Amino acid sequence: MSEPQTAAALAAALDAQAPFGPALAQLAELDAALVQALGRAPDAPLALRALLRRGERQLVLGQEEAAATFAEAARRAMALGDAEADAHARLWCVRALAELGSVADARALMERADRDAEHFPTIELTRGLARAALRAEGAASSLERALRETGPERRRREEHDGWLALGEALERDARWREADAAYARAQALARGAPDPALAARDALIRALSLLRHGMPRQAAPLLSVVWSEGADTTRLTAGLLLSGLALAEGDSRRAGPLAASCQALARERRSWLAYAAATIDLATARGLDDPDAEAATLREALAECRAMGEPGALLQSRLLELRGQRRQRPEEPQDAPVTDEGGAAVEDDDDGVG
Amino acid sequence: MSNTSRQARRELVAELQKKAPEVVPDKKTAQELQQEIQGPDSQVSPENARALASQVGNAALAKMLRDVGRQEGPAIEVEQVEEQEQEEEQEQEEDEGWDEGLEAAFSSSMGAPQSSGQGTEAGGGGGADFDQQFGGDDDADPPPVNPKRRAFRRAHAQTGFGMAQDKLKNDEEDDEHITLDELPPLNRPEAPQGDERLDAIWGWLQDPVEHADCDPEPEDLTLAPEGLVVAMELGQFLSGAAQDPLARALGRLLGPSAGGPGLAAQVARAGALGTLALAFEAEGVELPAVNQAATIALERDARRQGRAAAHICAQRSRLAAHFIFDEAVRGELPPTPGRAARGPAPGRRAQGLLDAAIDHVVKPWPVRPPLSVARAHSGDLTADADTASVDAFLNELLGQGEEALSHLEPDQLQPLIDSIETLVGSAGRAQAESACAAIAALRAAGAPVQARLRAILRAVDEELREIARESIRVGRRLENLVGEPMDEVEPSLYDAEAALRRWSERLLLVRESCFGAVGRVALTATGGA
């Protein structure tokens, strides 16, 4: 096979895969091989395509070099006289600058890039994503137009990001039902990639939106998916929300095991507020069946976290609440007398905390 | 309303009203009690608090307690002397009054050169110079997370129930306080690991009493509990500024949520979700920067205290960014023994997040671009420049001859003069905004950065004064042209408009650079450990 064909084949292989999680490593290898092939037999248009794909991969990985890669691509496109590729690269550069922290630089570049892109409908998706990254006007309409039709395989990641950005833009416009549909499309693309971790994140974003809009029943199945398939941080987030929902319905049988798992996960991460939240949920769940078990669970957890250097202030708060509730319920059996610092019993009264 | 908020409010109100301290004889002097309270082994007991309150007043005591126990220990109830609604109303009136009074003070102070304050650190230069002077060493190792702050909080949090007062106690029960069963021992705190390094919101939730709604009073139910307010504040910041979509989505949800009964459960869940949102953001941005940005964003009092300090400085005719900063943090932290070591400058993403945090706290006012001189005489002397040019265009279309303007008239200059006044006022306001940013950064970073922040503010102040002086000079030059033929003054008018646009852009750049510099100081400080 001649060198230029090899370079072309490598470029085609790059285009055949979208930069989702599992494919990223392979795309990096293809990119390196293509650089070597182009070193032996330079091909300016292929080099430009390679730069754009490399920039996209760097953006997905959150690497700040992405903006510089796209800037180089724009320069080469201008040298080739390819106006569409030039506009495309500059829009990518705007998006990279905006998503990687240089909003002011992105805005400065956007005006001309946006204007030039009007003539090229094929890059409408990149334009919409650049506008969305800047929270600019017209982002939602650009994305809706661009996402009407499915593009080639290499565009899958951009489409996924586009649906996600569209969902967020629609939520800002209070069109949350449409936003949910957009998030669902993003989730489906991630699942089909397949990128289970990304699909779990999309499911969590969708669930959070539903919870915000007072739809916990619709959110619960999504949270369960995240709980089963997500990475640690997403699992813990979903688990805390699920145990809360279960408790709100009085379902201690569902809440208890969830809270226990979240407690273990939080302890492992040394995430002490999550530990407190999970412990309080676990204690509440146990307390629904056995009133004495609630305080015992809290005390046990307090001992455990203080042994690891965490004061456990919110666990103390919950214990204070329980003591206060018991003092307000006269039909309850008497608690052990409360003593002051000197050891003398303190008179019971209707006010205050035990 | 939390005790922390109440204390902060009382402090600010008392500063403005300059209450005379109540003097009541006591066994110990106020100074002795103050040393006891602020000493390294302080046990802030209710008896000491009451004794000192009678001597120095509630506001001063609240400030001292805040200094000692801020974000760390349990809140000590200080006797309320005003109804909550009256406090809020009074503060609202004072908020409006401060702005009007400060506007005039800014404008009048900007023209006069300030005497140099303390310190001889280099200042001046353009906005970019703040970076070069105060940036970190790129070759140095990344700064370790400062374990001191969490260690201090943990040591202080050991007091637990034993020092907490029942917030529902009435006066007769002041002498009693109730302790529960002994707490299990707290192990010696280790260096932060895992999510412990994301302690921005953790630090606000360390008061067991504050987050227990054992028997809330009816008026307490009209306001969101402090723990939830802090979580919602973090959520508001992340929903706008976070770069990770999941962090933004979680930020939009932070607040009360479904779960078990009681305030503690709500606060724990909100705090946990807030920390997890920071963890998501830290997957793409350096974790220390995420934590520091969130810490800065939660310094809600910085803006109010900066404005209060600006008001005091204005009364003393010492209105400058570094003086405002000095006034606001006076007595709050021990003096800096020497320069702290610095870490490397943050990456672009981290810097973006820090800038957003400073903006979130300071909420800078927009700087309006300058207006243009009216080129056509519309016949309506009160018309602004835009209306005058539209009228002139319509007159031309309709064939109505416009009044010939042969000479420059005073009313033509009015829009430009107004713009100059606005620009000078904006420069003055930027002094206070810069000081507010530094206050937030100082609180987030700790004491050893005070000198660095002050040096930045001195440099910023010089820049702002230059902008104000040059703008005023433009105005004076224009006033001298009144009555001159229009043909001759036209180039000068264009030059003046261009100059004002440049100074307006320069003001924005100086402010942006200042915020960026103080954010980097907060991030790169190592606490002198």
In which band, very low, low, confident or very high, does the pLDDT at B84 lie, cut at 50, 70 and 90? very low
Among A208, A320, A349, beta carbon nearest to B209: A320
CB contact under 8 A, B348 and A307: no
Q: Does B351 touch chain A (CB under 8 A)?
A: yes
Name the most confidently modeled range: A102-106, B169-173, B265-269, B387-391: B265-269
A320: nearest CB among B208, B243, B273: B208
**Residues of chain B neighbouring A343 (CB-CB closer than 8 A):** none
- Window 196-215 of B: residues touching A by CB (8 A cutoff) are 196, 201-202, 205-215
Q: For residue A91, is pLDDT > 90?
A: yes
Instruction: Output the six-digit token pair for A153.
Output: 């395989």
Mean pLDDT, residues A181-206 taken together: 95
Choose the weakest-confidence range: A305-319, A340-354, B72-86, B399-413. B72-86
Taking CB atoms and an 8 Å cutoff, what residues of chain A touch B508? none
Other C-beta atoms closer than 10 Å to the C-beta of A233 total 22
* pLDDT band (50, 70, 90) for residue B292: very high
> Is B272 in contact with A211 (Cβ distance < 8 A)?
no
Among A112-126, B13-27, B475-489, whose mean pLDDT is lowest?
Answer: B13-27
How far apart, in whole angstroms, are the C-alpha atoms of residue A278 and residue A241? 10
Q: Is B191 on the interface with A (CB under 8 A)?
A: no
**Residue in A297, A316, A351 to test binding to B, most B beta-carbons within 10 Å:** A316
Residue B78 pLDDT exceeds 70: no
At B340, list the tokens: 């702290």
Residue bearing the bigger pLDDT, B63 or A61? A61
pLDDT tens digits for B152-163? 444 344 334 333
Quick one: what percent of chain A has pLDDT higher than 70?
A: 91
Residue A205 has pLDDT above 90, yes or no: yes
Highest-pLDDT range among A295-299, B175-179, B340-344: A295-299
Q: Which of residues 69-108 of A touch B (CB under 8 A)?
A: 99-104
Confidence of residue A307 (pLDDT cuts 50, 70, 90): very high
pTM of the model: 0.76
Structure tokens at B365: 């006012």
Q: What are the pLDDT digits (tens) for B170-198?
A: 333 433 344 456 788 888 777 888 999 99
Contact A314 B188 (CB under 8 A): no
Kindly report, residue by residue over A121-179, the tens digit of the pLDDT. Answer: 999 999 999 999 998 888 999 999 999 888 888 889 999 999 999 999 999 888 999 99
CA dihedral sign of residues B118, B119, B122, B128: negative
Nearest Cα of chain B lies from the Cα of A272 at a distance, in angstroms, of 7
The answer, yes or no, to whether residue B218 has pLDDT greater than 90, is no
For residues A20-26, average pLDDT = 88
Confidence at residue B170, expressed as pLDDT on a 0 to 100 scale: 39
User: pLDDT tens digits for B380-399?
Assistant: 555 566 676 676 677 667 66
Interface test mutation site (partner B, options A314, A328, A339, max chain B beta carbons within 10 A): A314
